[in-house]
Amino acid sequence: MMRISLPGWHAVPKKRPRVTRNGTFMPAAYTDWKQETAYAMGKAYGHAPPMTGCLRVEVLLVAKKKPRGDMDNLLGAVLDAGNGVLWQDDRLVGACSCAWLKPTTERGEGVYVEVQAWQA
């Protein structure tokens, strides 16, 4: 099992690609957030090789106010940031959960990710 804590981090909802006559692209603010989050995850994980096999992922979003966006888009953004860092690809995730909690004295604001092998 692996636990990653990103204290003070705030999740953003996964964005949809923008399509123009010049091509398709992701919004810059989302791309920047994803790269910064991936770097922070790698640093917290010790830059070890990404996990493989079927995985179960639990994401806790701890914030004073409910994060903006749908929960599935918030989870999707965190899963995308973990690609190639915590796991080879988020297609390996066979089970997942995501919850929003208010901060406590034991757990401050941030994003908390727990990953473990899962038998389908």
Give the CATH number of the domain where residue 47 resides: 3.30.1330.70
Which residues span the domain enclosing 9?
Answer: 2-15+24-117
**What pLDDT shows up at residue 35?**
96
**What pLDDT shows up at residue 69?**
87
**What pLDDT shows up at residue 81?**
96
Q: What is the reported pTM? A: 0.91
Q: Alpha carbon 101 to chain centroid distance?
A: 16
Q: Kindly report, residue by residue over 20-32, the tens digit of the pLDDT.
A: 898 898 889 999 9
The tally of domains found in the chain comes to: 1
Q: What is the mean pLDDT of residues 57-71?
A: 93
- What type of residue is 77? A
Question: Which residues are bridge partners to 87 per DSSP?
Answer: 51, 83
